[in-house]
Amino acid sequence: MAAHGAVLSLCRFIKPFGGGRLGNTVKVFGTTLTSHRNKSGLNGDNIPPPAKYGGRHTVTLIPGDGIGPELLNHVREVFRFSCVPVDFEVVHVNSALETDDDMNNAITAIRRNGVALKGNIETKHTLPASVKSRNNVLRTSLDLYANVMHCQSLPGVQTRHKNIDIMIIRENTEGEYSSLEHESVSGVVESLKIITRNNSLRIAEYAFQLARDKGRRRVTAVHKANIMKLGDGLFLQCCKEVASGYPDITFDSMIVDNTTMQLVSKPQQFDVMVMPNLYGNVVSNVCAGLVGGPGLVPGANYGRDYAVFETATRNTGKSIAGRNIANPTALLLASCMMLDHLELNDHATSIRNAVLTTMNETRLHTADIGGQGTTLEVVQSIMRIIQSKGQLTSEF
């Protein structure tokens, strides 16, 4: 298997790369040595797929809390059934503990494998303010600066608004989530919102590059610069600067409160949106609600060297855990995004199509989208559809 992998790798090295992908990467016997020079366009596509040994990828899996573990088990089932060449290294993170050991283990595992799939880790409000949210720690330690969410109306799901197709790019490392707060005077708390030129330029560059790669026409920056003149003002300024380098793409901006109003009345007007951290969180949730709920939308976090895939809206779904009613769609679609990232596009397409076809069956809708189907029924339907397409599968 090792020789086979090596031959594959050498073949890929010889094959011409389109669009500057893997521009400075040398593949030798299955391992990837990457030069970090000339890393232009910090798009997720320019991160080299991680090392493959023997033709199989290793991905870190963090089950998380609530419905995470059960849904990720279903993902593994579907992968095993479809003979996807991915092995999962499971790392548990216990949200109740105050120590950071398990979190550090998870981060190390992701550094090692380069890619991760995770459920949401609960943030306990009762822990002291100095303890950062675990999800936050993950994002900042690995510098996963771009959170990308693709919100699309799904044909089988009934929603008030149709034909929504929005890409939301959210700055993932700073802004209101800097966890810098102090109480110099008792009863008066001051929180610091951090906006830096560097990170704003970086995220704007990511957004415009992604828009160009996906053939999108318009990028909208969401801000509140009329109030936060320096902070959001800097963000907006950076977006404008980057926009000047992409004359083929229309750039405009909108204040966040107006944005939410426009989203609930005329969401079809939006194409690609880029924004700082908190607004990104709010807008992501609004859009997830517009297309049918948190159970349907996958999300991806990209950094220069790592990529972590999860559901777009980070709920743990504690109240529905273990009852076989959670919607597996979001995590399954996230795993498909991961497969695309690993360049296992055939598997990604096959599973994605099976998921979307299953969505058309109202009978199989789970409770969160108004149906009475169970998680298991949905997963079995997906596996049946994959099998019916004639691909290689293991037994049911």
Partner 1 sequence: ESLSTPSNTPETTRGMVQDPTQFDVLVMPNLYGDILSDLCAGLIGGLGVTPSGNIGANGVAIFESVHGTAPDIAGLDLANPTALLLSGVMMLRHMGLHDHAHKIQKACFDTIREKKVLTKDLGGNSKCSEFTADICRRVQDLD
Which tokens belong to 227? 């109030």
Q: Which is nearer to partner 1, 286 or 356 (CB)?
A: 286
d(CA 13, CA 73): 35
Among 154, 129, 197, 222, CA closest to 369: 154
Q: How far is the CB of 292 from partner 1 (least distance, A)?
A: 8
Residue 282: partners with Cβ closer than 8 Å, 6 or more residues away? 256, 260
Beta bridge partners of 182: 190
8 Å CB contact between 99 and 151: no
Q: Which is nearer to partner 1, 196 or 260 (CB)?
A: 260
Q: How far is the CB of 285 from partner 1 (least distance, A)?
A: 4
In terms of Cβ atoms closer than 10 Å to its own Cβ (0-12, 13-18, 19+), residue 322 is exposed
How large is the C-alpha radius of gyration of the chain? 21
Q: How far is the CB of 227 from partner 1 (least distance, A)?
A: 8
Q: How far is the CB of 136 from partner 1 (least distance, A)?
A: 13
Q: How far is the CB of 91 from partner 1 (least distance, A)?
A: 26
8 Å CB contact between 9 and 28: yes
Q: Which is nearer to partner 1, 41 or 289 (CB)?
A: 289
Q: Which is nearer to partner 1, 357 or 362 (CB)?
A: 362
Q: Which is nearer to partner 1, 226 or 394 (CB)?
A: 226
Q: Which is nearer to partner 1, 30 or 292 (CB)?
A: 292
For binding to partner 1 (CB under 8 A), which residues are involved? 224, 256-258, 260-265, 278, 281-282, 284-286, 288-290, 293-294, 313, 315, 317, 319-320, 367-368
Among 149, 141, 185, CA closest to 166: 149
Q: How far is the CB of 130 from partner 1 (least distance, A)?
A: 19
